[in-house]
Structure 1
Amino acid sequence: MKPLIEAAILDLCSRSSTMLPTRMVIADLGCSSGPNALTLVSIAVQAIHSHYLQFVQPPPEVWVLLNDLPHNDFNTVVQSLVTLHKGNDPVVVTGVAPGLFYERLFTSGSLHLVCSSNSLHWLSKAPGVLTSNKIPAYDIDEHARLERLPIVFEAYEQQFRKDFTLFLKLRAKEQVPGGRMVISLPGRRSDQLASELCHLRETLARILRIMVIEGVIDKAKFESFYVPMHGPSDEDLRVIIQEEGSFFIGEMRVHDPRSGVDNALMVPSWFAIMMRAVFEPISVQHFGDVMDEFMACTEQRWSQPGSLEEEVAGNPLVMLVVSLTKA
């Protein structure tokens, strides 16, 4: 996302040849609270600083707004905000905005740049057509699961379309004319089978299915577990953006985030930790504290020779990165 954020800042700063902006507002939606919470806004602030140095002009007043769900650890986030006020960096005014990004978060026409990394695959809710009709997203019986797969996929796809369309409409209201947005989320390539579910969600289901067979979790609870997550294809994303109409697509990139990673790191424990980081809160809420058993089952699943390599090869991890301009 870094080069796309830098390009967006350059575009915002270069629109007028006679007067540079005196105020810029940047928002990160889904900032989380760990070491990466300030990564995207820090890139943007540094890009603004570098651009103004070229023109030997005073830096603008920069507002940085960080959003995540209300239960996010904003105390830790606020403590780390001091790093944005170092040295000769632009004047930075910071704030937090707890809330769901499928709702209005900011005042109309206030945002210049919106960033969101690895967050928009989370849906506002599990598909209602599944939950209301008690259609399991997963099933212990493999034959029944495969038969139901197209119905489940369609339900998740429609929920994502509804949520992402709403997200675009809301952000368009909050952005200035010509505002920019750079987002990334896990998904799939357009040439992957449409019947394939989100890879991470499918991997989670396989692990939980083993835990059901071993008696760790209840079968009925497993079949009533709906993870509100969907990974669209790049073409899905393009169609939704074009149909909604609030933004122009500047650039779209599709890449494997595991490319270039040292193979020595690709061990069962690393994948187990990744799965825990993504799914622990929602799993504990539904099944209770079974994470020790979950970790053991996950590592055991991939401890057989060749199993991890087969998992990686058969389920490519794809990240979609999109740069948008408000129409």
Structure 2
Amino acid sequence: MNQGQGKTSYARNSGIQNAEQKRLKPMIEAAIADLSGSTSTSALLPTKMVVADLGCSSGPNAVALVSIAIDAIHIHCLQFLQPPPEVCVLLNDLPDNDFNTVVKSLVTLHQSNNEPIVATGIVPGSFYERLFTSGSLHLVCSSNSLHWLSKAPEDLTRNQIPAYDIDEHTRLERHPMVIEAYAQQFRKDFRSFLKFRAKELIPGGRMVVSLVGDFLDSGVIAPKFSHMWEFIAQILSVMVSEGVIDKAKLDSFYVPLYEPSDKELREIIQDEGSFSISEMRVHGPQSGVDSALMVPRRFVNTTRAVFEPIIVLHFGEVMDEFVRTLERRWSVEGTMQDDFTRSPRPRVAVSSRRHDLQVGQVQAKSSKWCKLKEA
């Protein structure tokens, strides 16, 4: 994401993402309520709680989800006349994230909510790896992040197969193989995410996540661009035809981004086995979004704020021309709306609960320990 507070920064062009965070409020509130019964039969929350946001990014959105969780904790304690628990808030993103603004946001959050916040911190690193100590987290939140892969699909990069070929016939012929390569990488990454979070959450701990998804098997007309990275590549292909960038550069460009369907997410969660799904929602990309944000100029800025770093890293300083190409496309009346209609980007939100250790598992571990002791 673009760093800082400038006019092309993520901090100033993330209103659409913030709308998705707000939609998670009921799920987070339900998760907090559920945690009051995760360790006892009473309605009391634990006396100490740790809340983490994975993929927090920067700007005002960095503390949005944890703020919702803190408000939910405060309301729950007032309702049941419970002293507020000690709460630790942890924010995570990749090491090159703009943590300067994140730290300022955390300071503001701490000062404005003396209770129940006790400690705050940042945890740099990939959420596809271990980040926290075992059994230390009560609630994990993540929004607008998990559709980003840990890396480009290995099957494509290893065999030097372009994700998007300018030749339409070749592109259509390879399309199923390319999409499957992206799907495989997502399955591998998301299983890792679930496995590590299961180790870090307490038994019965909750997780609320949302990501850009796909309307697969939903009856919606087949999209022109199955995934957002295809749309980005299509704009870049126009720049190739105009001689702005080299075709070989486009052929070696892979956006590590995959939007799964709710069906795919459900299957991966159930197959991995660490979590049970409490609730899953799918809603349209414009649901709950201020109409002022859904205009070409604002959406061009949002696209730039998200994709500029990865485009500039691969192609060099071509972003101004990328923006002009995108603006030309959407300057025709109704073109942007047509793109959204033909290639909808729904949001998939999932609330899940980490399985408690089953009796059989306890017995198996006890038996294994006894055997080791006897040996």
Normalising by structure 1, what TM-score? 0.96
Q: Classify 1:82/1:35 alpha carbon distance in 2 versus 1 (closer, same or farther; 3 Å).
A: same
- Secondary structure of 1:113's counterpart equals strand
Residue 222 of structure 1 deviates from its aligned partner by 0.4
Q: How many residues align?
A: 327
Residue 83 of structure 1 deviates from its aligned partner by 2.8
* Contact preservation (8 Å) 2:223, 2:343: no
Q: Classify 1:209/1:87 alpha carbon distance in 2 versus 1 (closer, same or farther; 3 Å).
A: closer
Deviation digits for residues 220-244 of structure 1 (CA, Å, limit 9, x no counterpart): 0001001111000100000000000
Counterparts of 2:80 and 2:249, CA distance in 1: 61
Q: Classify 1:260/1:247 alpha carbon distance in 2 versus 1 (closer, same or farther; 3 Å).
A: closer
Counterpart position of 1:74: 99
Counterpart position of 2:176: 150
Residue 54 of structure 1 deviates from its aligned partner by 1.8
Counterpart position of 1:4: 27
Q: Work out which of the residue numbers 123, 138, 150 in structure 2 matches 1:97.
A: 123
- Secondary structure of 2:62's counterpart equals coil
* Contact preservation (8 Å) 2:226, 2:343: no
Q: Classify 1:59/1:132 alpha carbon distance in 2 versus 1 (closer, same or farther; 3 Å).
A: same
- Secondary structure of 1:277's counterpart equals helix
Counterpart position of 1:205: 233
Counterpart position of 2:319: 291
Deviation digits for residues 267-286 of structure 1 (CA, Å, limit 9, x no counterpart): 32222112112211110100
Identity %: 66
Q: Classify 1:261/1:43 alpha carbon distance in 2 versus 1 (closer, same or farther; 3 Å).
A: closer
Residue 49 of structure 1 deviates from its aligned partner by 0.9
- Secondary structure of 2:255's counterpart equals coil
Q: Classify 1:91/1:303 alpha carbon distance in 2 versus 1 (closer, same or farther; 3 Å).
A: closer
- Secondary structure of 2:180's counterpart equals helix
Q: Work out which of the residue numbers 332, 338, 345 in structure 2 matches 1:317.
A: 345
Using the TM superposition, name which of 194-203 and 297-306 deviates more: 194-203
Counterpart position of 1:53: 78
Deviation digits for residues 49-104 of structure 1 (CA, Å, limit 9, x no counterpart): 11111222321100111000001111211111123232552133101100011110
Letter in 2 for 1:116: S
Residue 300 of structure 1 deviates from its aligned partner by 0.3
Q: Are 1:247 and 2:275 an aligned pair?
A: yes
- Consecutive unaligned residues of structure 1, counting only runs of 5 or more, are none
Q: Work out which of the residue numbers 43, 53, 57 in structure 2 matches 1:28.
A: 53
Q: Work out which of the residue numbers 118, 132, 135 in structure 2 matches 1:106.
A: 132
Q: Are 1:167 and 2:162 an aligned pair?
A: no
Counterpart position of 1:41: 66
Letter in 1 for 2:143: S
* Contact preservation (8 Å) 1:137, 1:225: yes
- Secondary structure of 2:150's counterpart equals coil
Counterpart position of 1:84: 109
Letter in 1 for 2:317: D
- Secondary structure of 1:153's counterpart equals helix
Using the TM superposition, name which of 308-317 and 237-246 deviates more: 308-317
Counterparts of 1:47 and 1:208, CA distance in 2: 44
Counterparts of 1:178 and 1:198, CA distance in 2: 36
Q: Classify 1:196/1:241 alpha carbon distance in 2 versus 1 (closer, same or farther; 3 Å).
A: farther
- Secondary structure of 1:27's counterpart equals strand
Counterparts of 2:289 and 2:130, CA distance in 1: 38
Counterparts of 2:223 and 2:336, CA distance in 1: 23
* Contact preservation (8 Å) 1:153, 1:195: no
Counterparts of 2:326 and 2:108, CA distance in 1: 37
Counterparts of 2:288 and 2:68, CA distance in 1: 22
Q: Classify 1:20/1:181 alpha carbon distance in 2 versus 1 (closer, same or farther; 3 Å).
A: closer
* Contact preservation (8 Å) 2:222, 2:342: no
* Contact preservation (8 Å) 1:150, 1:195: no
Letter in 2 for 1:6: E
Residue 175 of structure 1 deviates from its aligned partner by 0.5
Two-structure CA RMSD over aligned residues (Å): 1.7
Q: Work out which of the residue numbers 249, 267, 273 in structure 1 matches 2:295.
A: 267
Counterpart position of 1:179: 205
Normalising by structure 2, what TM-score? 0.84
Counterparts of 1:263 and 1:104, CA distance in 2: 39
Counterparts of 1:25 and 1:261, CA distance in 2: 30
- Consecutive unaligned residues of structure 2, counting only runs of 5 or more, are 1-23, 356-375
* Contact preservation (8 Å) 2:224, 2:343: no
